[in-house]
A and B are shown apart, each in its own frame.
Chain A
Amino acid sequence: MGSEIAPGETLISLRGVTKVFGEGPTAFAALKGVDIDIARGDFVAVMGPSGSGKSTTMNILGCLDVPTSGEFRFRGHNVGKLERDQRALLRRRYLGFVFQGFNLLARTTALENVELPLVYRGEEKGRRHQQAMAALDKVGLADWWDHTPAELSGGQQQRVAIARAIVTHPDVLLADEPTGNLDSERSVEIMELLTDLNRTNGITVLMVTHEAEMAAYAHTIIHFRDGLVESTEAAPDAGVKTAPTPPPFAHPGPLPQTEEGG
């Protein structure tokens, strides 16, 4: 996969994806054949009631889980066929995660939290600091680098989490109800930050939410119901905004290899 995917071209595609949990009579089909295409540079909101399959879809899109059947292609890789560690390497290279519960490491400074993905990339200390500080600066928390999560407000914690997700300049940012634990004022800040990352950095954003106000920031809204895509709509003001050409740090190139070549 040497070819870089241009903005507007398909980055992610799901074809007939199903996911069944359990076996036999207790088996539960969370996804019953989902087809989704997501273009590079899109800002997608995934909505739907609980149990509709949106979280399962996000786990699959985040390469954390694999479909029971069907095909999930990401950057040309058939992710369903990849080993656990290969999917970890995909996440390390191309994906950033933001969670509802922030999921920062406790008793660890903001800077160290943001540095974490760089540690696994094997960046040396100087570069790690520099890149992590740049990411913290991007979310407006450069002055708070030495604070631990306990010393930060919820909104600040979520911004640190976003800094951690973007420090590796990922292709895709997966946000699972990023504003679920925040008041509306902080939520707006977070949404503006995500919008900015989408516009100026060309990061494709996939966001699960059940708040319509938050979904309104997206360009595309996908509704789930009973394990199927109910509807896909373009947000009123949107369509895919012409995202800028990805900056040079958007990594082209093949699936990274582990050090041993695994």
Chain B
Amino acid sequence: MWATTFLLAVREIRRHLLRSFLTILGIVIGVWAVVTMVTLGNGATAAVKQQISSLGSNVLQVRPGQGFGRGGGGPQSPDFKIEDLDAIRTQIVGVVAVAPLVQSTGTAVYNAANWSTTINGTNREYFIAQPWTFNSGRSFTPAEEQAGKAVCIVGNTVRSRLFRGQDPVGKRFRIKNISCEIIGTLAAKGQGGFGNDQDDVVLMPYKAVQRRMTGNRDVRTIMVSVDADYDSQAVQASLRSLLRERRHLTAEAEDDFNIFDTRQISDTLQGTTQILTSLLGAVAAVSLLVGGIGIMNIMLVSVTERTREIGIRLAIGAVAREVLMQFLVEAVTLACLGGLLGLLLALVSTIVLAPLLQVPFIFDPQINLLAFFFSALIGVVFGYFPARRAASLNPIEALRHE
């Protein structure tokens, strides 16, 4: 009986292909919207997570200046000195690594190729604070670091721009007119949180950059990697009071530096994208409801149109429940078809859109199943009323219906 009822529904749908398609269009669009929104939203969340974690998962970044965007330096908020790093290393508990960041930009030249890039001066501990992996070669030695030797570790973009396929370790190239020996190459990390290319970088010992490029002893950024067993809030607090003391700030004065907790930023950003995802999903779910009303509408029309058929079935001896099931199964089949079509469209559009929006494509079986069952549920809910009406028709009047 079930198989027969289902076949009957399928046949009825095939008879009115265009109408059936228009009927389910609301569901199609609803499921499509929900699944696309949520899938892309999840992708965005994952992207944020990944980008933040590429900053180092448990890292405090200390910069001079007040507030976010404000640049450092200047008389109000001087850059740090390398002694500040030593102080942090020796006086604060729970610190795993402390790395300076001395930035410069310049053109790297190798044979005929040249490439403008960022030069970061730092130390070995940088590789503890930042999740870099080496493709080849090695990190700085303490001696190189101490002497400020011109040795370079190149990021993937620089490597591919200047050296194409070859491994440049051991070769020399010129960077900002300094001849530099390449001692290592870094594995690609991809795009950063703000759309920047993290691989477009050359790393050198900070002393080399200070001496030969920036010409001063300033350190723009300090990266402090916190031991996972320690409370980063507590470390942050002691770091703050240490720096205030070292920068001779009076009790009333505001901080002339700021500390970013990457984990905190990560949590905030993830929370934001998740809220946005649910919000978009909820808006899209409304269109699913509208789709359900579309199904109810057409099913009501269909019941009226097929009144005579219902009369025949009732006269032949169909009980109310059988007629009800016939129309209910038809509505649910329509809704499920709409759901499937919506899922298919969502799959195609997320695969196409994800790279355009620069978020990873993550297939989430849960939201797909949920959307499908929800559309089936809508079929049941909105199909029930028309089916009920069909089942309660008076056979005599139904047979007389023209």
Contact = CB atoms under 8 A, between A and B. Distances in A.
Contact of A119 (B4, B395, B396): B4
B15 A107 contact: yes
A62 B4 contact: no
Interface residue range, chain B: 20 to 34
Given A107-B15, A122-B1, A62 B312 contact: no
B400 to A, nearest CB: 10
Given A85-B319, A88-B319, A103 B308 contact: yes
B227 to A, nearest CB: 68
Q: Which of B4, B314, B319, B320 counts the most A-chain CB atoms under 10 A from its CB?
A: B319
A103 B399 contact: yes
A116 interface: yes
A64 interface: yes
A120 B322 contact: yes
Contact of B320 (A85, A92, A106, A122): A85
A64 B396 contact: yes
A122 B322 CA distance: 11
B215 interface: no
A121 B314 CA distance: 13
Contact of A64 (B309, B315, B322): B315
Interface string A65-108: 10000000000000000001100111111010101000111110
A187 interface: no
A92 B317 contact: yes
Interface string B291-320: 000000000000000001101111111111
A117 interface: yes
B318 A88 contact: yes
B319 A258 contact: yes
A99 B318 CA distance: 17
A103 B319 contact: no
B318 A120 contact: yes
A105 B399 CA distance: 12
Given A103-B312, A105-B312, A88 B399 contact: no
A17 to B, nearest CB: 16
Contacts of B396: 59, 64-65
A93 B316 CA distance: 9
A89 B319 contact: yes
Contacts of A116: 312-313, 316
B316 A91 contact: yes
Most chain A CB within 10 A, of B15, B315, B395, B396, is at B315
B314 to A, nearest CB: 7
Contacts of B1: 119, 122
Contacts of B314: 88
Nearest to A260: B321
Interface centre among B308, B320, B322, B395 (most CB of A within 10 A): B395
A89 B317 contact: yes
Contacts of B316: 91-92, 97, 116-117, 120, 164
Contacts of B309: 105-106
B317 A117 contact: yes
A89 B308 CA distance: 20
Contacts of A103: 308, 311-312, 315, 399
Contacts of B315: 62, 64, 91, 97, 103
B35 to A, nearest CB: 36
B18 to A, nearest CB: 16
Interface of B: 1, 4, 15, 308-309, 311-322, 395-396, 399
16 contacts: A64-B315, A64-B395, A65-B396, A85-B319, A85-B320, A88-B318, A88-B319, A90-B317, A103-B308, A103-B311, A103-B399, A107-B15, A120-B316, A122-B1, A164-B316, A258-B321
Given A64-B396, A116-B312, 7 more contacts: A59-B396, A85-B319, A91-B315, A97-B315, A105-B312, A121-B317, A122-B1
